[in-house]
A and B are shown apart, each in its own frame.
Chain A
């Protein structure tokens, strides 16, 4: 792999940029691998990356039904934060956020991590108390957050209207080292690093059946032929239920559509991420100047990557009230992703009822921010066969045991 640097840029510019090599290879699938990861989104690629980097397992294939990073990795609002209430959540999301800080340097690929700060607005007294509680929890967990008052909110975010008629701003939970990153670059950077380690990234390869063998190995029927592996990692987000059914077990997961939209680009006017969970809206400004807007998830099961218009209307209405400056912006694009929701709104990183199959799913509306930490924890689970400290609270059997990591109340709906 050729290193990306200022010198390589200058050198290539002398050649009219004809000498760049492909960031990752597209090999034909081999007959067998030590580990097969299904799903070449952020979480799947991160799992493969840390399998190679932390555990030295490099005979790995990453299978992808569509194209690399074309699922929820390419369909989110790129927010990164770790201000969670429960210790288990805070640990894995903070691991993730801290890995994001140096990911560009680690992978020699610019993921454009921008720790611009994330504020979660308190717009009811209940919410204000909730965020003060999270702030106290974060102090104990060693995560730097701060509960700030309306005048500080206004200082950090000039365009906000803190006297909203319905829900005035009472305060905010402020995480200064939260922010955003370039979502595609995260997937591409991991893919390039995986390919460099000799892993096979196989796109347009759908797993149609999973057959456990008597010796504990697994045989996968795919749209590109049979592939055998010793261990299998399922990292397919919204389609986890479909894949688990092929392997013969069920999941506490429901798939729903979550939408986002972007406006036409405008001059820089918003340099923080603002989340308003009471009114279901969150907003940040991309480097191109577009306002990136997200809202609530649909209420019904859905696999169509299209959501209900009513959510867009509600989200935009709420944000126009808070940011009158955006009221005449035109919206350029809108999209939906299929998110996998668990009952406690916390993820699953776990062994499964089938030997040597491991699953990483249930990230719901909070998948992007957790990519590096999720991959780190999942790689440890796949490599050792047992979950490490980060993953062990997120096991599949917590539902049967009633041992929830309840973020559905703590985190609200928006991630």
Chain B
């Protein structure tokens, strides 16, 4: 059972209390965007084997959306942070760096942009 701490109400919630919202920090495309941009926004996902930044909703609790840094191989959670951010805060990065080095982070080139 995956357990995440909701950054708003502070409750450690089981996954049954939560709804997954998929990849986080997607750039929303507008009317001037190309078909390729829309395809990327709507369908193409990083789907990393390693660290993923994703959105979750505390659906059966406070109802808020929030972000999670998690490893898709070990299910290790590096921390949760509020939804109103464009990239993970430094404290999340510190946790990731303290537990993973270099290649092990599983960050690909697209991911790295988000982290920088």
Contacts and interface: CB of A to CB of B under 8 A. Distances in A.
Interface string A214-258: 000000000000000000000000010110010000111111000
Interface of A is mostly: mixed
A176 to B, nearest CB: 37
B39 A301 contact: no
Contacts of B46: 241, 250
Contacts of B54: 300-301
A299 interface: yes
Given A299-B15, A303-B72, A304-B72, A400 B47 contact: no
B86 interface: no
A343 interface: yes
Listed residue (B38, B42, B47) with the most chain A CB atoms within 10 angstroms of its CB: B47
A324 B2 CA distance: 30
B52 A301 contact: yes
B85 interface: no
A231 B46 CA distance: 25
Contact of A251 (B44, B49, B70): B44
> How many A residues are at the interface, by size bracket?
20 to 34
A352 interface: no
A399 B43 contact: yes
B39 A241 contact: no
A241 B22 CA distance: 15
Contact of A301 (B44, B47, B74): B47
A341 to B, nearest CB: 10
With a 10 A CB-CB cut-off, give which of A239, A241, A309, A343 has the most chain B CB atoms.
Answer: A241
Contacts of A140: none
Contact of A302 (B36, B38, B75): B75
A310 interface: yes
B44 A309 contact: no
Given A299-B20, A302-B75, A310-B1, A245 B108 contact: yes
A308 interface: yes
A309 B47 contact: no
Interface in A167-183: none
Given A299-B15, A301-B72, 7 more contacts: A241-B47, A241-B49, A254-B22, A254-B47, A300-B15, A304-B75, A310-B16
Interface of A: 239, 241-242, 245, 250-255, 299-304, 308-310, 343, 399-400
Interface of B: 1-2, 14-16, 19-20, 22, 35-36, 38-40, 42-49, 52, 54, 70, 72-75, 108
6 contacts: A252-B39, A255-B49, A299-B15, A304-B72, A310-B14, A400-B38
